[in-house]
């Protein structure tokens, strides 16, 4: 007997103990019967867009995605979108200089009010470090402190922040460690905010592509930026860092990481959140740094990204009444889906968060790990 689309969907979801129209927090409530065809034939795009359109709901999206990704159900439905992306990624450099600003224009140049509504006072749009705390603001300061200590910052250091965001690291490092910081970004909105945020401090901020860097620094940070670089450009980024780092310098890479090597990101996220984004794998990073750097330390605290994202969503949800005049209900559902889907991915350990310390020639006497 041939199964209906609904029966096929239920059979797949049952592997993750998810029911259709059940009453548990992770069970799916379907409002539109077209949901089944859309998901089974369109995969990630169909699942995300049908949620944005209000065709289905679930009380706890984060737990739904934890179960889906833990059981790898995403591998069981249509991969058409990924196939097309794969072809494009192989044939073209989707993160070329000309295309690099797309993500800035479509994501980071959204109103600063949106981001400040859910981020911490230092506007850290990367994972917090929840060591002995459940408070996001404390966790983000601990993350910044951890980065500074891993870089062995000391007064007089010349620090380069590639992908400086809203200037949070630059301000923290200049205030607490007495260093001078040069930060670059490709987002005009971030740059305007960051210049005001770091005013009066030894901080220089520029609107600049990383490929144009030609200077000398003894400490370099890439935090939450390589996810936009693309696998075809990983080696070039590492060459840029190598060229701009003094022989005795230290480089810290802070990035989301994937368990498997890929050349694309998720199709829904590519279309709606991070155009041309993708997560590097261990092997891709290894290949990119080979012959250039000594790997001094590799720290994974991906489980803390789950906590970070859950607080971000709670803050975003609380702020929504004052944001909704600028954004519609579909935007709210899109961002809810985004934040809670990624929280579920980290909870399922489908994604990781790595801090990698690198040096050119090896730290004299050995590198002492900081946690």
Question: Which of 75 and 284 is assigned the larger pLDDT?
Answer: 284
Cβ atoms within 10 Å of 243's Cβ, excluding its own: 12
Cβ atoms within 10 Å of 33's Cβ, excluding its own: 10
- Between 16-30, 48-62, 98-112, 288-302, the lowest mean confidence (pLDDT) is in 98-112
In whole angstroms, give the CA distance from residue 311 to residue 339.
Answer: 10
Query: What is the pLDDT, as a whole number, of residue 83?
Result: 55
- DSSP secondary structure letters along 131-159: SS---HHHHHHHHHHHHHHHTT--TT-EE
Average pLDDT over residues 255-279: 95
Average pLDDT over residues 41-57: 96
Query: What is the pLDDT, as a whole number, of residue 74?
Result: 82
Kindly state the tokens that stand for 359.
Answer: 């040096």
Length of the chain: 371
Q: How confident is the model at residue 159 (pLDDT cuts 50, 70, 90)?
A: very high
Which percentage of the chain shows pLDDT scores above 90? 90
Query: What is the pLDDT, as a whole number, of residue 158?
Result: 98
Residue 85 has pLDDT above 70, yes or no: no
Residue labelled with tokens 């129209």: 21
Q: 216 by DSSP, 3-state: which? A: coil
67-82 pLDDT, tens digit per residue, is 999 999 887 776 655 6
Boundaries of every domain in the chain = 5-78, 101-109+121-301+349-359
Kindly state the tokens that stand for 68.
Answer: 């889906």
Q: How confident is the model at residue 90 (pLDDT cuts 50, 70, 90)?
A: low
Residue 172 has pLDDT above 70, yes or no: yes
Q: 99 by DSSP, 3-state: which? A: coil
Contact 229, 237 (CB under 8 A): yes
208-221 pLDDT, tens digit per residue, is 999 999 999 999 99
Residue labelled with tokens 């030609």: 214
Query: What is the pLDDT, as a whole number, of residue 81?
Result: 55
φ, ψ of residue 348 to 5 degrees: the values are: -80, -5
Residue 281 has pLDDT above 70, yes or no: yes
In whole angstroms, give the CA distance from residue 160 to residue 181.
Answer: 6
Average pLDDT over residues 167-189: 98
Average per-residue pLDDT for the chain:
94
Q: Among 139, 90, 127, which residue's Cα sits nearest to residue 302?
A: 127
Average pLDDT over residues 226-231: 97
- Between 19-33, 103-117, 341-355, the lowest mean confidence (pLDDT) is in 103-117
Query: What is the pLDDT, as a whole number, of residue 79?
Result: 61
Kindly state the tokens that stand for 337.
Answer: 């889906």
CATH number of the 101-109+121-301+349-359 domain: 3.40.50.150
Residue 93 has pLDDT above 90, yes or no: no
Average pLDDT over residues 259-282: 95
Average pLDDT over residues 276-287: 97
Query: What is the pLDDT, as a whole number, of residue 227?
Result: 98
């Amino acid at each position: 007997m041939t199964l209906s689309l609904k029966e096929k969907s239920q059979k797949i979801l049952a592997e993750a103990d998810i029911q259709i129209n059940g009453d548990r927090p992770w069970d799916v409530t379907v409002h539109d019967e077209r949901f089944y065809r859309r998901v089974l034939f369109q995969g990630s795009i169909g699942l995300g867009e049908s949620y944005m359109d209000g065709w289905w709901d679930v009380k706890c999206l984060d737990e739904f995605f934890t179960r889906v990704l833990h059981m790898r159900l995403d591998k069981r439905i249509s991969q058409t979108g990924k196939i097309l992306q794969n072809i494009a990624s192989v044939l073209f450099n989707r993160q070329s200089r000309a295309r690099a600003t797309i993500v800035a224009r479509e994501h980071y140049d959204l109103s600063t009010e949106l981001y400040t509504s859910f981020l911490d006072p230092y506007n850290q749009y990367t994972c917090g470090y929840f060591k002995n705390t459940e408070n996001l603001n404390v966790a983000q300061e601990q993350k910044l402190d951890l980065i500074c200590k891993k870089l062995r910052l000391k007064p007089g250091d010349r620090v380069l922040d590639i992908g400086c965001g809203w200037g949070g690291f630059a301000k923290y490092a200049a205030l607490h460690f007495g260093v001078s910081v040069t930060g670059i970004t490709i987002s005009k909105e971030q740059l305007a905010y960051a210049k005001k945020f770091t005013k009066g401090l030894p901080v220089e901020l520029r609107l600049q592509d990383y490929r144009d860097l030609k200077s000398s620094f003894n400490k370099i940070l890439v935090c939450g930026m390589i996810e936009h670089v693309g696998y075809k450009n990983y080696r070039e980024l590492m060459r840029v860092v190598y060229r701009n780092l003094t022989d005795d310098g230290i480089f810290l890479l802070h990035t989301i990481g994937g368990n498997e090597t890929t050349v694309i990101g998720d199709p829904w996220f590519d279309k709606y959140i991070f155009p041309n984004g993708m997560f590097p794998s261990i092997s891709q990073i290894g290949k990119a740094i080979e012959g250039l750097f000594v790997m001094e330390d590799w720290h994974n605290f991906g489980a803390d990204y789950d906590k970070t994202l859950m607080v971000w969503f709670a803050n975003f949800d609380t702020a929504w009444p004052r944001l909704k005049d600028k954004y519609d209900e579909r935007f709210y559902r899109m961002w809810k889906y985004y934040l809670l889907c990624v929280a579920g991915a980290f909870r399922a350990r489908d994604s990781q968060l790595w801090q990698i310390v690198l040096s050119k020639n090896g730290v004299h006497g050995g590198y002492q790990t900081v946690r």
